[in-house]
Chains A and B, each alone.
Chain A
Amino acid sequence: MSSFGFRGWVMPLLLLVCGGLVLYPLAFLIIESLNIGDPQSFPPEELGLANYLELFEEPRVITNTLLVASIATVLAVLFGFIQAWILTRTIIPGRDRLERLMELPYYMTPLIGALAWGVLLGPKTGLINQVWQSTGWTSDFFNIYTPWGIAWVMALFEGTVAFVMISASMKSMDPSLEESSRVLGAGKLRTALKITLPLVAPGVLSATIFVFSEMLGSFAAAFVLGIPGRFFVVTTAIWEATLSFPPDYGRAAAMGLSLFGAMVLTLGCARLIMRHGSYTTITGKAFRPRAMEVGAMRFPLMTIAWGYIIVAVILPLGALLLTSMERFATVIIPQMQFTLANYETALRMGSLAPAFANSLILGVSVATLGVPTIGVLAWIIYRSRVPGRGLMEFVIMIPAAVPRLVFGLGLLWAWINIPIPIYGTLWLLGIAYFTVFLPLGLRTIAGVVLQVDPSLEECARVCGASWGYQMRTVTLPLLRPGLVAAWLLIFIASVRELGVSIFLMGPNSKVIAPAIVNSWLSSSSELSAAMALMQTAMVFVAVAILFRVARRVTGAPA
């Protein structure tokens, strides 16, 4: 068979490379977490569980993490549920546009959110606090540098995630289930309590657990808003441990793996609950559930729906924009001094300008090299009948389950100990990005691969096309939208990357997100705001292209 040769060597090679990239850092992490000898030596001189036991001697970090995660989860699910209910079950003006805008908070990232809310609600200097004090109050309206503040910022971000999951469960409900209850004589309220609520409950529950699990591994907001007040959660404690002298990699690794374990456990629970709790009547079929006429209530409801978008996107971006254009951040009009100097500094300053260039180079090259590689992987996993493809999918999806920061730690330790001199260079960052974005790329491309009916390819073969000709004329053109989307998503993710970069960035290989954080912690909020906005602009341009591509694909009549 003609194509056997190609598949014969490409398959094992790809499996080896990708498996190695994913598993090698994890193996290092596990070994290091058991190292109780000199933390700097590798391989470890002594093995033991001391690093894990130490975690419980200082329960503060654990209780802090649980506190922040719980508050943020409750808030996020509340936001998500309200938005989902308004946008899927009631008729309000501009519903479709609002639904599309609901994606925006997700592209804001917790880092940008944390910076913006720092600008808005920092003690004394925060813009809202300034206004508050100018009206006669002596204390702050709210101090964002608290557990509540971290939870607030995370909740605004995760609210979108909860919205997507809950509205999916509301949409996938067959309206006839409610209609039959009404026909059988139950009133609106009885139907809502006895039929609607139980059917939506599994979706809400799984959203709760998923958000909680994400919260456990979240880093940026806790980092920006927690470090100044020396309030540590697990992720920031991991980062702190690697900075102590000597760096306590063993403890950091143990914390990281425990966190990974806790997240896998919660997600496992969620899956179990979903399997037992979900009702088979809820199918994958998309229904447009019957939306309620809400009469005069439609304006208050619309205000609530817009309120979330305003608080999660418009207010933070507005605050950053205002701050970035001022000499000193203020809302007291007579004191305002407008300037573009912050943008100039961001682009000129010796240590910052390269960070932008590096991030762009990394984004473009990781996406450009990643998409064809992942495309071939997706084709092998979802189209061929090669044995072991299930295992391959599993290995490639692993980075999705490991918190970014923990994976970054593993990568750091793994590549320090390899005799290839790429530590502190862009090469290492490139390899790291490729590894952690494997799941993102695979999921995106798999989405289109699975949509392409195999008979479209088979038909080309029967018509006499060789494997290569079929790939060129049928498969690749059909996959193109998915490949473009994957390219853009990987680019966006690269430009925003923080958790891995913060460990692997060297003095000559700075990238944007960590540079913004450093600038925030060490210098002015005005400069940081300018940098954050420039990063957001890069992301939003890519998002705009992405939406356009997506619209062209879904907009075409089938």
Chain B
Amino acid sequence: MSTPPRIDVRDLVVRYGETAAVDGVSFAIAPGELVTLLGPSGCGKTTTLRSIAGLETPSDGSIKISGRTVYSRRERWNVPSEKRGVSMVFQSYAIWPHMTVFENVAYGLRVRKVPAAEIADNVARVLDMVQMRGFADRPSSKLSGGQQQRVAVARAIAFSPNVLLFDEPLSNLDAKLRAEMRVELRELQRRLDITSLYVTHDQEEALAISDRVIVMNGGKIEQIGSPEAIYNRPVSRFVADFVGSANMIAGQVRGPGPDGTLLFETEGGIKIEVIAPANGDTSGTVVALRSSYIHIGHVSGSHNAVNGTIHRRMFHGDFIQYVVDWPAGQLIVRRPPTELFEEGSSVTVSFAPLHCVLL
């Protein structure tokens, strides 16, 4: 990275008594980037975010924002929240019920003693951005969940912070609104070119909106990478399992295969070709295979083709999920709703070695 990172977290540790909620986490976020902290509840992602906001006092490590140290255990330095120049959208929205929409959004500007005329302009501008123009004089207690969400975003960006933090901002919305807001938030973030750190437990959301995803588990980072890398090249069983739908096929590597692949023998005694790991480690005993990357019927170019039986078919609308009995147990296969097979029919399943990730 040529430009210095906007957020730089080093060896962050947050302990509550004996247990470490965050256990040695390091990452950096470039200016304008949107990075997601993804993981199950209790993995330390929210604690990490709150530490950056200054709402949680870490036990060790250091945090820099825009090159300025805001927390350092070694230097005994801890800048209070209000002096960090960050902004945050809370999971509960934290809309102050005793203020109007305007007063909520103007809060950060009033704190900074911005002249009244300028405040009015700024508030109108950001309310416009979140499509809440015309709501300025509403008492904020009379807003729907989605509207509160928009006001919370407007308030967070109104005073032009350096860094925007999102703490599961969409988790209280219903599925349809969530999908819409996801698009809007990404649009807004791109437009303002604002460095953002986004916490979520929803892997679909993380993949959809991020430049990069940080997968966390048990207070540690499992993998950092682009959404595509996280999905296609998970580095651990946890990531493969948590992000997307994957089949875990147990077995052992028996030797090299054609075209630089490895030959993997599954528990049912079938040999499949899998891609060789970049690090050359062939001791893995599990192959992760995304259910969307499996074809039913023989597809040319797929080196791996095995016979099986359709055990169960479940129609999901956007896709059909099949449970296929095959010699190595059962495979979960997702196909578009156009590919209809009857339960009990014999089929061939095929998949490319490229999609078989040895873990």
Residue picked from B80, B94, B108, most chain A C-beta under 10 Å: B94
Per the CB 8 Å criterion, the residue count for chain A at the interface is: 22
* Known contacts A462-B87, A557-B142; A453/B94 CB under 8 A: yes
Asked whether, in the complex, the Cβ of A463 is within 8 Å of the Cβ of B155, the reply is yes
**B141 CB–A CB distance under 8 Å:** yes
* Known contacts A455-B90, A459-B90; A464/B111 CB under 8 A: yes
Asked whether, in the complex, the Cβ of A464 is within 8 Å of the Cβ of B142, the reply is no
Chain A neighbourhood of B81, CB < 8 A: 458, 461-462
**Contact indicator per residue, chain A 459-487, by CB within 8 Å of chain B (1) or not (0):** 11111111001000110011000000000
Indicate which residue in A1, A453, A477, A558 contacts B98 across the interface (CB closer than 8 Å): A477
Interface size band for B: 20 to 34
Q: Please, which residue of chain B has its CB at the minimum distance from the CB of A459?
A: B94
Chain A neighbourhood of B88, CB < 8 A: 458-459, 462
Asked whether, in the complex, the Cβ of A455 is within 8 Å of the Cβ of B94, the reply is yes
State the CA gap A557–B80 with chains docked (Å): 34
State the CA gap A371–B80 with chains docked (Å): 29
Asked whether, in the complex, the Cβ of A455 is within 8 Å of the Cβ of B107, the reply is no
State the CA gap A453–B53 with chains docked (Å): 17
Chain A neighbourhood of B142, CB < 8 A: 557
* Known contacts A465-B107, A465-B111, A469-B111; A455/B91 CB under 8 A: yes
Asked whether, in the complex, the Cβ of A464 is within 8 Å of the Cβ of B90, the reply is no
Asked whether, in the complex, the Cβ of A463 is within 8 Å of the Cβ of B141, the reply is no
State the CA gap A557–B140 with chains docked (Å): 11
From 34 to 71 in chain B, residues with beta carbon under 8 angstroms from any chain A beta carbon are: 53-55
Asked whether, in the complex, the Cβ of A478 is within 8 Å of the Cβ of B97, the reply is yes
**A456 CB–B CB distance under 8 Å:** yes
Separation in Å of the A499 CB from the closest CB of chain B?
39
Residue picked from A455, A463, A469, A557, most chain B C-beta under 10 Å: A463
**Contact indicator per residue, chain A 434-465, by CB within 8 Å of chain B (1) or not (0):** 00000000000000000001011011111111
Q: Please, which residue of chain B has its CB at the minimum distance from the CB of A2?
A: B80
**B27 CB–A CB distance under 8 Å:** no
Separation in Å of the B76 CB from the closest CB of chain A?
11
Chain A neighbourhood of B97, CB < 8 A: 478
A interface, over-half SS: helix
Asked whether, in the complex, the Cβ of B111 is within 8 Å of the Cβ of A463, the reply is yes
From 222 to 272 in chain B, residues with beta carbon under 8 angstroms from any chain A beta carbon are: none
State the CA gap A2–B78 with chains docked (Å): 11
From 72 to 92 in chain B, residues with beta carbon under 8 angstroms from any chain A beta carbon are: 78, 80-83, 86-88, 90-92
**B176 CB–A CB distance under 8 Å:** no
**A556 CB–B CB distance under 8 Å:** yes
**Contact indicator per residue, chain B 87-131, by CB within 8 Å of chain A (1) or not (0):** 110111010111000000001100110000000000000000000
**B159 CB–A CB distance under 8 Å:** yes
Q: Please, which residue of chain A has its CB at the minimum distance from the CB of B91?
A: A455
Chain B neighbourhood of A473, CB < 8 A: 107
* Known contacts A477-B98, A478-B98; A461/B86 CB under 8 A: no
State the CA gap A490–B82 with chains docked (Å): 36
**Contact indicator per residue, chain A 316-354, by CB within 8 Å of chain B (1) or not (0):** 000000000000000000000000000000000000000
State the CA gap A154–B64 with chains docked (Å): 66
State the CA gap A556–B53 with chains docked (Å): 32
**Contact indicator per residue, chain A 485-519, by CB within 8 Å of chain B (1) or not (0):** 00000000000000000000000000000000000
Q: Please, which residue of chain B has its CB at the minimum distance from the CB of A480?
A: B98
* Known contacts A456-B96, A466-B82, A478-B98; A461/B159 CB under 8 A: no
From 541 to 558 in chain A, residues with beta carbon under 8 angstroms from any chain B beta carbon are: 556-558
Asked whether, in the complex, the Cβ of B94 is within 8 Å of the Cβ of A461, the reply is no
Asked whether, in the complex, the Cβ of A463 is within 8 Å of the Cβ of B87, the reply is yes
Separation in Å of the A237 CB from the closest CB of chain B?
50
**Which B residues are closer than 8 A to A by beta carbons?**
53-55, 78, 80-83, 86-88, 90-92, 94, 96-98, 107-108, 111-112, 141-142, 155, 159, 165
11 additional contacts (CB under 8 A) given A453-B92, A478-B96: A1-B78, A456-B96, A459-B88, A460-B107, A462-B82, A463-B155, A464-B82, A477-B98, A478-B97, A478-B98, A556-B141
Nearest 5 interchain pairs by C-beta: A459-B94, A463-B108, A461-B81, A455-B94, A464-B111
Query: Can you list 10 pairs linking A and B with CB atoms under 8 Å apart?
Result: A1-B78, A453-B92, A455-B92, A458-B53, A459-B94, A462-B81, A463-B155, A463-B159, A464-B82, A464-B111
